[in-house]
């Protein structure tokens, strides 16, 4: 009680003082009372395009400006910041028949930008586009083995994919050939967006000259030069969006915006393209991507047909120096010791193994390659065309490191991937791989399954036990057990070393201080969710 009596007069005095300050209109008092700014509605966000040249066809099933597609279209599901599938156009779903049937119940009241209601027919049509055998389509391979009737449709032997079934106007089913845990991850990707069936059928390619989706922003107009050349695109807020409405009234997106416009405040967000931008006091954000880099070894050509030789060579490489050689103002490279990217749920960064030890690597290679085999060894470093500054710097650094082990290096650029079959001697292939959906299956199968096309054009690695584990993982319904299978696969790869993990990619962007609400997306900056972004006065 004594303490309370002493505090009360002080508290009342302090309260009276605060009231007096507030009454005086002191700005300092107002700042203290409301330190968090309230999001402002309206405003146009200008973004320098992430890709050049500017592709005017915003088709999610083609190489396109995925950032724009994310604003225009929605899929059945989407990902949260931890790669968990979340409801989007599908309000919820059920799994039945032992995991071979998934039923999606569409969210009521969703309309396309032209006012027409979304239906299950639109979902079926959009997914069948991904399976259709047409020039440039590679997404069919994710469905033909997995969805009932997809192979026959792709081969032209059926008029529809029977495993894509419209139950009624608001209910859609997928029938898998076997249980596929990765199915939801596949459906959350950028190419699985839902488009209006009637407009695509009636307009064909012309649909993408003024595309229509269900997304938070809708196509408004092309940004044109005085000569009427198309330089970019303007999107405007979709007032009928089924989810949270964006704060911004519009987005303008063009690769022709300049760094000077950014510095003058007319453009709000750009990729970091110069050291000059880094030196100035802008907010710089870094974001991981699903792109990983490896050095694939020719596992079917001596001496790399022996895992112990591959492991010995890896011991002599300094990944940190190789990563630095590829860095630029726009991208950084983070050392990678994993075969499954550790940003995926259930996987964690592997503790670095032994530090680079050139002397130990030379000793091991001399034991494995007697009679001076190490010093007589010439390796070929293979790149895809064209030659870039990054590949030149990487080759120069790798040549220096191998030279320290007294191993010679030749460098060759392949005109097409199939040309690797003409390389007769032992080689190292610089392999960059971007996952098409965030699931370990999507990197382990293409890079290391014995029947994979990508593996056949890189490491040419074959391990029946690994193939068997992948086949188990493909249909394992338990997420925990499935992740355990992939961790077992990683253990095998650590022992066999068909490829040396090098580094992963991080992208840099710069934004003006008045751009608020930016949240780093799990899938990379091209998947930036703009709904929470607003511009401060």
Q: What is the CATH number of the domain that holds 135?
A: 3.90.76.10
**pLDDT at position 16 over 50:** no
- 262 and 307 co-located in one domain: no
User: Is residue 6 included in any domain, yes or no?
Assistant: no
CATH number of the domain at 471, please: 3.10.105.10
User: Is residue 8 included in any domain, yes or no?
Assistant: no
User: Is residue 370 included in any domain, yes or no?
Assistant: yes
Cβ contacts of residue 116 below 8 Å, gap of 6+? 196, 198
Residues 363-393 pLDDT 10s = 999 999 988 889 999 999 999 999 999 999 9
Residues 424-483 pLDDT 10s = 999 999 999 999 888 999 999 999 999 999 999 999 999 999 999 999 998 888 888 999
For strands 101-106 and 90-96, give the pairing.
antiparallel
Over range 341-364, report the average pLDDT. 85
- 228 and 167 co-located in one domain: no
For strands 101-106 and 85-87, give the pairing.
unpaired
Mean pLDDT of the chain: 89
- 526 and 423 co-located in one domain: no
Q: Which range among 51-55, 60-64, 179-183, 398-402 shows the weakest confidence by mean pLDDT?
A: 51-55
Domain extent for 251: 217-268+512-535
User: Is residue 53 included in any domain, yes or no?
Assistant: no
pLDDT at residue number 11: 40
- 480 and 528 co-located in one domain: no
User: Is residue 108 included in any domain, yes or no?
Assistant: yes
Cβ contacts of residue 529 below 8 Å, gap of 6+? 70, 519, 521
- 389 and 247 co-located in one domain: no
pTM listed for this prediction = 0.84
Residues 281-290 pLDDT 10s = 899 999 888 8
CA distance 65 to 55: 7
Check residues 22 and 120 and name the one with the higher pLDDT: 120
User: Is residue 25 included in any domain, yes or no?
Assistant: no
Q: Which range among 30-44, 73-87, 266-280, 285-299 shows the weakest confidence by mean pLDDT?
A: 30-44
- 241 and 362 co-located in one domain: no
DSSP-derived secondary structure for 32-87:
HH--SPPPPP--EEEEE-SSSS------TTSS--HHHHHHH--BSEEE-TTS-EEE
- 495 and 516 co-located in one domain: no
Give the total number of structural domains in the chain: 3
CA distance 394 to 384: 13
pLDDT at residue number 234: 97
- 237 and 342 co-located in one domain: no
- 445 and 461 co-located in one domain: yes
Check residues 16 and 504 and name the one with the higher pLDDT: 504
- 79 and 168 co-located in one domain: yes
- 355 and 307 co-located in one domain: yes
- 230 and 197 co-located in one domain: no
User: Is residue 277 included in any domain, yes or no?
Assistant: no
User: Is residue 276 included in any domain, yes or no?
Assistant: no
Q: Tell me the two tokens of residue 416.
A: 């097409």
3-class SS letters over 242-291:
CCCCCCCCEEEEECCCCHHHHHHCCCCEEECCCHHHHHCCCEEEEEEEEE
**pLDDT at position 162 over 90:** yes
**pLDDT at position 10 over 80:** no
Q: Which range among 210-224, 344-358, 512-526 shows the weakest confidence by mean pLDDT?
A: 344-358
Over range 298-316, report the average pLDDT. 97
């Amino acid at each position: 009680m004594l303490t309370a009596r002493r505090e009360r007069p002080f508290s009342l005095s302090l309260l009276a003082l605060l009231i007096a300050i507030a009454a005086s209109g002191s700005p300092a008092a107002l700042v203290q009372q409301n330190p968090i700014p309230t999001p402002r509605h309206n405003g146009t966000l200008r973004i320098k395009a992430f890709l050049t040249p500017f592709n005017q066809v915003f088709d999610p099933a083609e190489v396109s400006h995925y950032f724009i597609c994310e604003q225009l279209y929605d899929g059945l599901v989407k990902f949260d910041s931890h790669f968990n599938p979340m409801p989007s156009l599908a309000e919820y779903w059920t799994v039945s028949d032992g995991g071979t049937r998934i039923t999606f119940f569409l969210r009521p009241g969703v309309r396309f930008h032209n006012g027409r209601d979304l239906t299950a027919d639109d979902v079926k049509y959009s997914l069948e586009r991904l399976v259709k055998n047409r020039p440039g389509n590679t997404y069919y391979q994710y469905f033909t083995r997995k969805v009932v009737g997809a192979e026959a449709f792709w081969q032209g032997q059926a008029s529809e994919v029977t495993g894509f079934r419209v139950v009624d106007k608001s209910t859609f089913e997928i029938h898998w050939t076997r249980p596929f845990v990765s199915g939801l991850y596949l459906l959350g990707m950028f190419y699985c967006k839902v488009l209006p069936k009637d407009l695509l059928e009636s307009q064909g390619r012309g649909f993408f000259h003024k595309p229509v989706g269900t997304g938070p922003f809708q196509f408004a107009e092309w940004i044109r030069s005085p000569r009427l050349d198309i330089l970019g695109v303007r999107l405007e807020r979709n007032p009928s969006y089924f989810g949270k409405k964006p704060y911004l009234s519009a987005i303008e997106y063009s690769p022709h915006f300049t760094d000077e416009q950014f510095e003058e405040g007319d453009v709000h967000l750009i990729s970091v393209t110069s050291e000059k931008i880094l030196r100035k006091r802008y907010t710089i954000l870094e974001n991981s991507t699903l792109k990983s880099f490896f050095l694939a070894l020719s596992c079917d050509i001596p001496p790399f047909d022996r895992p112990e030789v591959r492991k010995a060579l890896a011991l002599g490489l300094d990944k940190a120096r190789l990563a630095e050689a590829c860095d630029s103002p726009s991208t950084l490279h983070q050392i990678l010791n994993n075969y499954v990217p550790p940003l995926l749920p259930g996987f964690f960064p592997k503790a670095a193994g032994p530090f680079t030890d050139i002397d130990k690597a030379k000793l091991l290679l001399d034991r494995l390659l007697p009679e001076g085999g190490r010093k007589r060894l010439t390796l070929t470093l293979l790149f895809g065309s064209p030659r870039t500054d990054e590949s030149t710097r990487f080759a120069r650094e790798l040549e220096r490191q191998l030279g320290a082990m007294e191993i010679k290096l030749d460098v060759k650029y392949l005109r097409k991937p199939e040309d690797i079959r003409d390389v007769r001697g032992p080689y190292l292939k610089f392999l960059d791989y971007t996952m098409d959906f965030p699931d370990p299956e999507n990197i382990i199968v293409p890079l290391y399954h014995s029947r994979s096309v990508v593996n056949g054009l890189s490491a040419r690695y074959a391990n029946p036990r690994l193939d068997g584990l992948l086949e188990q993982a493909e249909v394992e319904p338990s997420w925990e057990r499935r992740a355990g299978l992939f961790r077992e696969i990683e253990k095998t790869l650590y022992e066999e070393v068909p490829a040396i993990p090098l580094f992963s990619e991080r992208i840099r962007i710069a934004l003006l201080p008045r751009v608020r609400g930016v949240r780093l997306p799990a899938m990379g900056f091209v998947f930036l969710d703009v709904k929470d972004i607003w511009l401060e006065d």
